[in-house]
């Protein structure tokens, strides 16, 4: 009987330790991915802000502010993943991920706030367009931003399917990618047709897209926080 109980306990331990190790490795991978994305965002956002002022482009400045804010969101996601990593080392299951769901909720709410700010700046630009916009530096900067955001999308894509925290971070970089495409279109419109209003119009359009992408994540996060998951189930 003692041997049978010991064997059963050993099997449970092996299964729990395997889950524990798998969860810890996955969390460590998430921290590395988020750290890489964070460095890329911070390195580019400052340059984009300076060039935006130089080019008189509200859209470029707004996108820079968006990326700087995203750096805080990515930091929040990284801290949440690190906390989950620490907790997974002390638990034999992957059930408690509420801290990551909270990070996803705060990220999505922050995304809506950023989108509203971009929209306000865009409306102000449409009402009083700048006298001139240097389209070529704007176009080059937007192209580089598209590359940076494309790399971040690739980094975060796989982890975003089954992890709400990573999905929140992924939506941030998707919004950045869309903004970069919008900036390229606006720069081309200003360059080829001298449509100065395109700068503000693209910013307003991007603002609406960001809000539409964030609302479902807010709803899903609130729904998950309102439920108590089983102790042996990964809610992510």
Domain ranges of the chain: 2-225
> Rounded to a whole number, what is the distance in angstroms from the first to the last CA of the chain?
39
What pLDDT does residue 153 have?
93
pLDDT at 124 over 70: yes
Domain 2-225 falls under CATH 2.40.50.180: no
8 A C-beta contact, residue 18 and residue 72: no
What's this model's pTM, rounded to 2 decimal places?
0.68
What pLDDT does residue 128 have?
81
Q: Which residues of 187-207 are buried (b: 16+ CB within 10 A; e: fewer)?
A: bbbbbeeeebebbbbbbbbbb
Q: At 63, is the pLDDT very low, low, confident or very high (cuts 50, 70, 90)? A: confident
User: Who contacts 215 (Cβ-Cβ below 8 Å, separation ≥6)?
Assistant: 108, 112
The residue with greater pLDDT, 138 or 11, is 138
CA distance 200 to 124: 8
Mean pLDDT over 221-228 rounds to 76
Q: What is the chain's mean pLDDT, rounded?
A: 76
CA distance 192 to 200: 16
Long-range CB contact pairs, 80-83, < 8 A, 24+:
80/165, 81/27, 81/30, 81/31, 81/34, 81/165, 81/166, 82/27, 82/31
CA distance 133 to 127: 16
pLDDT at 223 over 70: yes
What pLDDT does residue 151 have?
94
């Amino acid at each position: 009987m003692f041997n049978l109980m010991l064997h059963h306990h050993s099997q449970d331990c092996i299964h729990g330790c395997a889950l524990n190790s798998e969860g810890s490795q996955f969390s460590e991978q998430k921290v590395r991915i988020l750290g890489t994305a964070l460095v890329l965002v911070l390195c580019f956002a400052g340059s984009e802000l300076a060039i935006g002022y130089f080019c008189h482009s509200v859209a470029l400045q707004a996108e820079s502010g968006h990326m700087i804010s995203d750096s805080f969101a990515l930091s929040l996601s990284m801290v949440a993943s690190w906390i989950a990593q620490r907790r997974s080392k002390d638990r034999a299951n992957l059930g408690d991920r509420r801290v990551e769901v909270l990070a996803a909720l705060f990220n999505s709410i922050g995304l809506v706030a950023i989108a509203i700010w971009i929209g306000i700046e865009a409306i102000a630009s449409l009402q009083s367009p700048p006298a001139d916009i240097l389209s070529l530096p704007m176009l080059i900067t937007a192209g580089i931003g598209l590359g940076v955001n494309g790399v971040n999308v690739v980094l975060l894509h796989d982890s975003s399917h089954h992890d709400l925290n990573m999905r929140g971070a992924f939506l941030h970089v998707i919004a950045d990618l869309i903004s970069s495409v919008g900036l390229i279109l606006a720069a081309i419109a200003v360059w080829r047709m001298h449509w100065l209003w395109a700068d503000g119009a693209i910013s307003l359009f991007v603002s609406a897209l960001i809000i539409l992408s964030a609302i479902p994540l807010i709803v899903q996060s609130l729904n998950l926080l309102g439920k108590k998951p089983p102790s042996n189930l990964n809610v992510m």
